[in-house]
Amino acid sequence: MQTIPGQRMPIDAHHNRKERLILVHSNIPKGGSVKSYDNNGKLVGEINHFRTADGKSVTTNTQYNTYNGHPTSQTVSVADPNGKVSTTTTINGKLLP
């Protein structure tokens, strides 16, 4: 069965009023993005991942206010090729896309 981004599907026949969240995944060269939406189709959060030219792995996790669409927090994690990881969290805003 093919799903359409934002499409809602019943969990099972016994609970047909409940809906489950469908994640949208889009492939981006040398990285990726996953967005999640609430049952009203509003963006709740997104995770982005990419690698830099010097081999660092960067992952961002952004949470959004579903009332006004503004970012409420963003965590940026950067892993060096040698294993060192640094993490920065921003509240009420975002540093990276």
Please state the domain extents for the chain.
9-91
Predicted confidence at residue 96, as pLDDT, reads 76
As beta bridge partners, residue 50 has 31, 58
Which of 1-5, 17-21, 86-90 shows the lowest mean pLDDT across its residues? 1-5
Instruction: Write out pLDDT tens, residues 17-70.
Output: 444 444 444 444 456 889 999 999 999 999 999 999 999 999 999 999 999 999
Total residues found in the chain within this entry: 97
Enter the pTM of the model: 0.66
Q: What is the DSSP string of 29-56?
A: TTEEEEEEE-TTS-EEEEEEEEE-TTS-
How far apart CA 59 and CA 95 sit, in angstroms, is 12
Instruction: Give the residue-averaged pLDDT of 86-94.
Output: 90
